[in-house]
Amino acid sequence: MMHRPRGCDILPMVRMSGMGFLRIPHSFPIFVVTCLLSLGDLGGLQPAAASSHFEAISIPGKALDGNPQGDPVQRRVAVFTPKLPRFTSKLLTVYYLPGYFGSSEDFLGANGDLFAAVFQQLADRGIPLRMVVPDCKTRWGGSQYLNSTAQGNYADYVLEEIIPILEKRFGTPITPRDRIIAGHSSGGFGALRLAMMAPERFGAIIALSPDTYFEVTHRPLAEAPEVRSVTAEAFRRYTTFGKDKDLPGHNLVQIMLGLSAAYAPKGPNEPGHFHWLYDEYGNWQEEVWQNWLEEDPVFIARRNPHLFMPFHRIYLDGAEHDEFGAQKGAKLLGGLIKPYSQVEFYESPDGHADHIEERLARGIEWVFGKTMRNIEDR
């Protein structure tokens, strides 16, 4: 325990424009304090560039150069900056990872307007945040935000390219803890795994219906008839190199191919290739399934619950009627890591993909110690 010298028990204060002074409790996370300081009287600085919509910013994609799937290297991120009253400060940033088949391109259209409106409302309530959405899709639909010799280095793309480029443009945070990483479904998985890989980079993690506890969320999908019925010939056809590769007609098969590329690559000697869950005779391959489990946040936490830092604020959300049972994994993971980090679990109403923008906002409100909104059943 760190000793506080005498006389240091006076709570720090920040002048809020038009509101006098506000005392800041010592228990507030550093990124919350930074946010409050950014709201202070900054001497009439001009507002930062803002819009009611997301803007597109191109990222070179050096981390994706030479990816074995032949997927695009240069991509766009979607960035939303709320309209602020009279100051321009280095806003705290939420890096939001979309679910499978999702990308920044969705947020540059009408879907982004829903999130932009919610983030503007948060700013109006005193939580001004910039929102950044990357494009980490592969030909299969999603990368799970992992490095893999079968698909490319998408973790590096986010951690070592997107974040530094945007912070060079918008300003580096006062502390690395001023970053929040969030996501839904596959993106919730990505948020958890990237925070595990680089815990010093983030102050908070918000995972909505994350892919975790694979025995519940993934195995029933992997054992579905349309997946079991993929023949060795069809698998070879789907995984043949070249732009004219066939894609399976069933979305579930496409998802399973993408997850296999992320979780079960054959290694650097066979770039672009990955293990399938069934052998050529249609028999389940348990050793390949173990490769999947090695990436499962619950499986990882059972072996080492000290995955996150004590300062991390971790918000886990699972829908009450989640079609994939993701709420079970989120709750289980929360119980495993709660003794070592600051954790909140919330069971939101309705299904897996309902109320995503409201659920994200509720997680942000918890991170900042604000009164959390009620999410109504549809």
Tell me the angle at which helices 286-293 and 251-263 cross, rounded to the nearest 10 degrees: 70
d(CA 161, CA 165): 6
Q: What is the pTM of this model?
A: 0.86
**Nearest residue to 186 via CA among 250, 142, 147, 225:** 142
- Concatenating the DSSP letter of every residue in 251-291 gives HHHHHHHHHHHHH-B--TTSTT-B--SB-TTS-B-HHHHHH
- With beta carbons less than 8 A apart as the criterion, state whether 152 and 71 touch: yes
pLDDT at 378: 65
- Of 57, 299, 66, 18, nearest in space to 168 by CA: 57
DSSP string over 163-190: HHHHHHHH---SSGGGEEEEEETHHHHH
Position 89 scores a pLDDT of 58
Of the candidate CATH numbers 3.40.50.1820, 3.90.470.20, 3.90.1150.10, 2.40.160.20, the domain formed by 55-216+295-367 belongs to 3.40.50.1820
- Residues 6 or more apart whose Cβ sits within 8 Å of residue 310: 340, 341, 342
Task: Map tokens 């993909």 to a residue.
Answer: 353
Total Cβ atoms within 10 A of residue 133: 29
Q: Which of 332, 315, 79, 369 is closest to 204 using CA atoms? A: 315
- Cβ within 8 Å of residue 181, ≥6 positions away: 94, 95, 97, 191, 194, 195, 201, 202, 204, 205, 206
What are the mean pLDDT values of the chain's consecutive 10-residue runs (378 residues total)? 34 36 43 45 37 90 96 97 73 95 93 93 93 97 98 98 94 82 98 97 97 97 96 92 74 97 97 96 97 98 95 97 97 97 97 97 97 87
Residue 138 pLDDT: 96
Domain boundaries, the chain: 10-41, 55-216+295-367, 219-293
